Amino acid sequence: MTDTAARVREYAAHSFHTWSRQKGWKAPLLVNDAEGIYFYDHTGKAYIDFSSQLMCSNLGHKNPVVIEAIVRQAEKLPYIVPSFANEATIAAVEALRTVMPQGLDRFFFSTSGTEANEAAVKMVRQACAPAYKVISRYKSYHGSTAASISLTGDPRRWYAEQARFTVPGVCFAPDSYCYRCPFALTYPQCGVQCARYLDYMIREEGNVAALIVEPVVGTNGRLIPPPEYYPMLRAICDAHGVMLIADEVMSGWFRTGTAFAMEHWGVVPDLITTAKGASGAYTPVAVTAASGKLAEFFEEEVFCHGHTYAFHPLAAAAVPAAIGELKKLMASGQPQRVSAHLKRQLYDLAERHLSVGDVRGIGHFFALELVKNRKTREPFDVKADKFSQTKALMTGRVAADAMQRGVYISPWYDTLVIAPPLIITEAQVDEALAVLESSLAIADREAVDTGTPVSRSTEYAKDR
């Protein structure tokens, strides 16, 4: 055993790996470098970062402008107590105001999307008291702390519930999931029942303070609702005096082609929570952006929230640089051209592979949902299989094969996450998809040929 291998094993033996049984994490890949859309292991092998790590490295790796901004701040003022103003956070607020929807202009800075959502829940429950309930959706992920994991619909919440680590007052609504409609209806004949049902829920639940949504669902499917969905939700929230929270941790920062995904529907929420791409993932920074109406409440009431690293100047220093680089990149037109190319190529690839049941997405944010049978839409794996001790997920097997071939793709229990950095080129997309083409053969061997075409359940997204 080499010294390097021994050190990695010692590291794994003395640290906790996230969201997993520790026995399965004995020799993690040692990554030593990254640049552009690639990262490199300790042997120098290159991997295409086809999921932007955890859907956060929107600018790719080693952007010199962002790095320089962080270095300058580290040399000048790496930390100061959040009750003082500093140039880094002032510049970050100024930059945020150039991209946030009009009216969302009061900000709280933290260090993760989890914390951004925690702050949002605390705000709305205080401002909307005695109403306190928050409605979320089953296909969702909002974080790992007590309030944010309580809002989470995916199976990670189950373990938090077992540990009695959730908060009361969270309800779950049916998803806007056209490929597997929870009402067994078809758009547009459905009348967007998934939105209408929320009106029923609010009336029947009572005491509802807020509704939280990922405008484009992230980990749990890259679900894009019909064009009417969010305007209907906005109207329902307004009718009942309920606040609308948009969790744009993954879908923000031009991931879907606009600064924030809600812009596709022309809807302004009462709060936006975001992180990840806010700094290009170069520093851990998150933002809870509130409307003037909500901010006004706290003029007289105590905003009883904060922590040591709130408004951290080193974290904030990356924000204006990242925003500037993202704006410049989008102005070049390259991401728009590449996203159109990516969409076409994914559709073509899916047609050649029996195991791909649905292709959906927008911008640089796509899902391939793998199924055994396109006609019946029988999945290889379901939510309960995610943390199985005995079953290897099909998506995991495909992703592992692609990784061996030099392409990193993040798998969930039913989908592959196709979310490359916004700097990727058409040629690099083709290189990655050529690898995925080979890896999908693993799933194809266990799929049934029914002659059914692949679904494109969110094809209506092309018109927005």
Structure-token pair, residue 188: 């547009």
**What pLDDT, on the 0 to 100 scale, is given for residue 28?**
92
**What pLDDT, on the 0 to 100 scale, is given for residue 461?**
58
Chain centroid to CA 296: 29
Contacts of 138 (CB under 8 A, 6+ apart): 153, 172, 173, 174, 175
SS3 content of the chain, % helix, strand, coil (to 5): 40, 15, 40
Direct distance between the N- and C-terminal alpha carbons of the chain, in angstroms, rounded to an integer: 55
The pTM for the full model equals 0.96
| Euclidean distance between CA atoms 152 and 158, whole angstroms | 9
Give the mean pLDDT of 112-133: 97
**What pLDDT, on the 0 to 100 scale, is given for residue 207?**
97
| Euclidean distance between CA atoms 220 and 230, whole angstroms | 18
Kindly report, residue by residue over 218-261, the tens digit of the pLDDT: 999 999 999 999 999 999 999 999 999 999 999 999 999 999 99
- For the chain, the domains span 3-62+332-463, 64-329
CATH of span 64-329: 3.40.640.10
| Euclidean distance between CA atoms 125 and 133, whole angstroms | 8
**What pLDDT, on the 0 to 100 scale, is given for residue 390?**
83
Kindly report, residue by residue over 11-62, the tens digit of the pLDDT: 999 999 999 999 888 889 999 999 999 999 999 999 999 999 999 999 999 9
Contacts of 231 (CB under 8 A, 6+ apart): 265, 266, 267
Kindly report, residue by residue over 207-228, the tens digit of the pLDDT: 999 999 999 999 999 999 999 9
Q: Residue 463 pLDDT > 50, yes or no?
A: no
For residues 152 and 319, the answer to whether their CB atoms sit within 8 Å is: no
| Euclidean distance between CA atoms 415 and 356, whole angstroms | 9
DSSP state of 22: G
Contacts of 69 (CB under 8 A, 6+ apart): 317, 318, 320, 321
Q: Residue 1 pLDDT > 60, yes or no?
A: no
Residue 328 class from Cβ within 10 Å (0-12 exposed, 13-18 middle, 19+ buried)?
A: exposed
Least confident range from 313-322, 337-346, 382-391, 416-425: namely 382-391
**What pLDDT, on the 0 to 100 scale, is given for residue 464?**
41
Q: Supply the angle between the helices 229-240 and 193-205 in degrees, to the nearest 10.
A: 20
For residues 261 and 216, the answer to whether their CB atoms sit within 8 Å is: yes
| Euclidean distance between CA atoms 9 and 30, whole angstroms | 10
**What pLDDT, on the 0 to 100 scale, is given for residue 130?**
97
Continuous H helices in 378-457:
394-404, 426-439, 441-444
**What pLDDT, on the 0 to 100 scale, is given for residue 193?**
97
Regarding the domain delimited by 3-62+332-463, which CATH topology (the fold level of the hierarchy) does it fall under? Aspartate Aminotransferase, domain 1 (3.90.1150)
Kindly report, residue by residue over 376-411, the tens digit of the pLDDT: 999 999 999 999 888 899 999 999 999 999 999 999
**What pLDDT, on the 0 to 100 scale, is given for residue 362?**
96
Kindly report, residue by residue over 270-305, the tens digit of the pLDDT: 999 999 999 999 999 999 999 999 999 999 999 999
